Amino acid sequence: MSQDTSPLSYRDAGVDIDAGNTVVERIKPLVKKTFRPEVMGGLGGFGALFNLSGRYREPVLVSGTDGVGTKLKLAQQLGRHDTIGIDLVAMCVNDVLVQGAEPLFFLDYFATGKLDVDTTVAVVGGIAKGCEMSGCALIGGETAEMPDMYPPGEYDLAGFTVAAVEKSEIIDGSDVRAGDVLLGIDSSGPHSNGYSLVRKIFDRAGRPADLDVGGTRLIDALMEPTRLYVKPILNLLKSHRIPAMAHITGGGLSENIIRVIPDGLGLQVEASSIVLPPVFDWLQREGQVALPEMWRTFNCGIGFVLVLHPEQVAAVCADLDAQGLGHKTIGQVVVQHGDERTVIA
């Protein structure tokens, strides 16, 4: 039995180093647009440098990491690669924002079986756009080409952010009290949560991409990027001491707000205050999804929640109006009775 003894290269094994270098060169100008004055050096080093001196008296670093769930699979099926990176950034920076922290820098991890330059540049371009929109520097990342690990045309994404907040200004929920108001801030759609259920409903309905939902094509509503709350909320924190904040992600309204509420207190969420936006209304009707399941799976139109003392509400609402953020009162903090801490009724 003959054995092939011809010379092999990395390209023969499925890894194209030249394609990787092309990606780096094409994303450099996109990445550079996200840089802040604190960034030291450029793209391509073994480690990224960020100078924190002079900005804070007692800085506390806050870190976060996330992905975009199976919304990524829908993006790949549709060939929509230019906005999924915004979702990736938003899922990370909105999380660290909850503690009052300003996202400083971001790193991404992009992995695929075979590197497609245009697709990779589109994805990283979206990441850079998300960073730019949130004032966060994209200072590094990893592009991994791993033959046989992923089916053709598929890739995976993960993101990592580091933020900072003055120790005296950390928002930890300790000032929350019974009678405080829950102010919900509008989401842009399902954001990046619940997409395993979204895709199942979408497929079962025959994938009606062009269906009109509230004046928007269904597929556009489903693929609308996650809203970035960083800049408006940081502006709000300059003049208001917010007792607690929550980013509504996996677990929906039922399980996220309560994470920032002290023991002994619970939540009374008024279901009647939350009118499902058209895309969520379609998902519920087409999937025959029970309301309790909607509350614990999706944000249902509320992407971020502020917990406010009653005397703060009017001024905070006025500032949110000035920044163009839709909002509504959705409930209040109550003394906990029994084992159930969040009641939506």
- In total, how many domains does the chain have? 2
Q: Measured between alpha carbons, how far is 194 from 198 in angstroms, rounded to an integer?
A: 6
- The answer to whether the CB of 203 falls within 8 A of the CB of 238 is no
- The answer to whether the CB of 100 falls within 8 A of the CB of 171 is yes
Average pLDDT score over residue span 213-236? 97
Q: How many CA atoms lie within 13 A of 100 on its CB side?
A: 22
More confident residue, 61 or 339: 61
- The answer to whether the CB of 19 falls within 8 A of the CB of 112 is no
146 and 268 belong to one structural domain: no
List the beta strands (DSSP E) in the chain.
Answer: 39-40, 49-50, 59-66, 102-112, 137-145, 155-166, 181-186, 212-213, 216-217, 244-247, 265-269, 302-308, 327-335, 342-344
144 and 191 belong to one structural domain: no
202 and 161 belong to one structural domain: no
CATH code for the domain of 109? 3.30.1330.10
DSSP 33-57: TT--TTEES-TTSSS-EE--TTT-S
Residue at which a domain ends, from 118, 148, 169: 169
* Containing structural domain, residue 115: 17-169
43 and 149 belong to one structural domain: yes
**pLDDT (tens digit per residue) in 105-145:** 999 999 999 999 999 999 999 999 999 999 999 998 999 99
Res. 88: pLDDT tops 80: yes
Length of the chain, in residues: 345
57 within domain boundaries = yes
Residue at which a domain ends, from 169, 195, 218: 169
Q: Give the pLDDT score at 75.
A: 96
7 within domain boundaries = no
DSSP annotation of 175 reads T
- The answer to whether the CB of 50 falls within 8 A of the CB of 38 is yes
Res. 13: pLDDT tops 80: no
Res. 1: pLDDT tops 60: no
216 and 280 belong to one structural domain: yes
Res. 96: pLDDT tops 80: yes
pLDDT band of residue 190 (cuts 50, 70, 90) is very high
176 within domain boundaries = no
SS (H, E, C) 119-173: HHHHHHHHHHHHHHHHCCEEEEEEEEECCCCCCCCCEEEEEEEEEEEEHHHCCCC
114 and 196 belong to one structural domain: no
Residue at which a domain ends, from 107, 136, 169: 169
**Percentage, residues of the chain above pLDDT 90:** 80
Average pLDDT score over residue span 302-322? 97
Q: Give the pLDDT score at 296.
A: 95
- The answer to whether the CB of 298 falls within 8 A of the CB of 284 is no
225 within domain boundaries = yes
111 within domain boundaries = yes
233 and 157 belong to one structural domain: no
152 and 24 belong to one structural domain: yes
143 and 200 belong to one structural domain: no
- Chain mean pLDDT for the chain: 93
Burial class (CB in 10 A: 0-12, 13-18, 19+), 206: exposed
pLDDT band of residue 2 (cuts 50, 70, 90) is low
127 and 62 belong to one structural domain: yes
2 within domain boundaries = no
Q: Give the pLDDT score at 240.
A: 96
Res. 267: pLDDT tops 60: yes
158 and 215 belong to one structural domain: no
Q: Measured between alpha carbons, how far is 295 from 257 in angstroms, rounded to an integer?
A: 12
70 within domain boundaries = yes
Beta bridge partners of 343: 268
104 within domain boundaries = yes
Q: Measured between alpha carbons, how far is 134 from 258 in angstroms, rounded to an integer?
A: 26
Residue with tokens 């670093």: 61
CATH code for the domain of 228? 3.90.650.10
pTM: 0.94
Helix (H, G, I), strand (E, B) or coil at 268: strand
311 and 245 belong to one structural domain: yes
* CA neighbor of 141 nearest in space, from 106, 165, 176: 106
